[in-house]
Amino acid sequence: MNLFRLLGDLSHLASIFILIHKIQTTRSCRGISFQTQALYVTVFVARYIDLFFRWISLYNFFMKIFFIASSVYILYLMKYRYRPTHDPSIDTFKVEYLVGPAVVLSLIFNYKFEFTEILWTFSIYLEAVAILPQLFMLQRTGEAETITTHYLAALGAYRALYIPNWIYRYFTEDVVDPIAIVAGLVQTGLYLDFFYVYFTKVLQGQKFELPA
Amino acid sequence: PRRSPVKDEL
């Protein structure tokens, strides 16, 4: 465990708390893509299936439980509690275009052709692109509530912080995980446009608005 | 470096 990794994980935790806070205080899930949230549940369940057969640490155990539980809770909030505030007509990204390629890629590029290993690889590829329905929705509406942009910034920061973490581990532990690194770079890259607007507008006190 | 998956990450 190094500082980058820890800050990354904390940023990930923060993003989830921000999202739940946004939904509960505004009593609305407006501006949040249900599809992206559903993809995250898929990602966590597929990856953390190893809770059943691999013990790493107490930290690791509780984080995994938290990510699965909180993502399911968010789906519940969106699907039942605040259902009327979700507008499916602007959340129209075709998730099969993400799930399909993630399945195919994980069957081809993996470390070992074993069921749980392929599930892990699938979850890595799927996570890399899971934010796309959310970003697509943002692009479509052209604006976002400030709190929603904080959620996305924390989520992007989590991924960005994993990169120095890998560099650090390369030098100190002599390990490289090409699958995680390539997928992680792609995932972080997807946030670049968003970060640009976030830093130049939201952090300057302006509303998040995309040029027409 | 060992090309090993770092499965201790989240």
Handedness of CA A94, A19, A17, A210 (dihedral sign): positive
Rg of chain B over all Cα atoms, to the nearest angstrom: 7
Work out how many CB contacts closer than 8 A connect A with B: 40
Burial class from Cβ neighbours inside 10 Å (0-12, 13-18, 19+) for residue A206 reads exposed
Counting the structural domains of chain A, the total is 1
Which residue is listed with tokens 């006190």? A205
B5: nearest CA in chain A?
A177
The minimum CA-CA distance between B1 and chain A, rounded to whole Å, is: 5
Query: Pick from A8, A140, A36: which is nearest to A98 by CA?
Result: A36
- In chain B, which residues have their Cβ closer than 8 Å to the Cβ of A174? 1-2
State what percent of residues in chain A have pLDDT above 90. 95
The minimum CA-CA distance between B10 and chain A, rounded to whole Å, is: 7
Are A67 and B8 in contact (CB < 8 Å)?
no
Is residue A33 assigned to a domain?
yes
Chain B interface includes A65 (CB < 8 A): no
Task: Give per-residue pLDDT as tens, A137-161.
Answer: 999 999 999 999 999 999 999 999 9
- In chain A, which residues have their Cβ closer than 8 Å to the Cβ of B3? 176-178
Is residue A12 assigned to a domain?
yes
CA distances from A170 to A10, A81, B6 (A): 22, 45, 11
Chain B interface includes A14 (CB < 8 A): no
Which pLDDT score, from 0 to 100, does residue B5 have?
61
Length of chain A (residues): 212
Q: Look over chain A and give the mean of its residue pLDDT values, rounded to a whole number.
A: 96
- Considering CB atoms only, which of A54, A165, A169 is closest to B7? A54
Which pLDDT score, from 0 to 100, does residue B4 have?
64
- In chain B, which residues have their Cβ closer than 8 Å to the Cβ of A60? 8, 10
Structural domain for A194, as ranges: 3-86+94-207
Structure tokens at A104: 């195919």
Is residue A212 assigned to a domain?
no
Is residue A24 assigned to a domain?
yes
Task: Give per-residue pLDDT as tens, A60-104.
Answer: 999 999 999 999 999 999 999 999 999 899 999 999 999 999 999
**Alpha carbon A185 to chain centroid distance?**
13
For residue A162, pLDDT beyond 90:
yes
Is residue A148 assigned to a domain?
yes
For residue B1, pLDDT beyond 60:
no
d(CA A87, CA A104): 31
Are B4 and A177 in contact (CB < 8 Å)?
yes
Is residue A140 assigned to a domain?
yes
Q: What single-letter DSSP state applies at residue A77? A: I
Which pLDDT score, from 0 to 100, does residue B3 have?
65
Which pLDDT score, from 0 to 100, does residue A211 have?
84
Is residue A82 assigned to a domain?
yes
For residue B6, pLDDT beyond 90:
no
Is residue A67 assigned to a domain?
yes
Burial class from Cβ neighbours inside 10 Å (0-12, 13-18, 19+) for residue A5 reads buried
Chain B interface includes A172 (CB < 8 A): no
d(CA A126, CA A106): 9
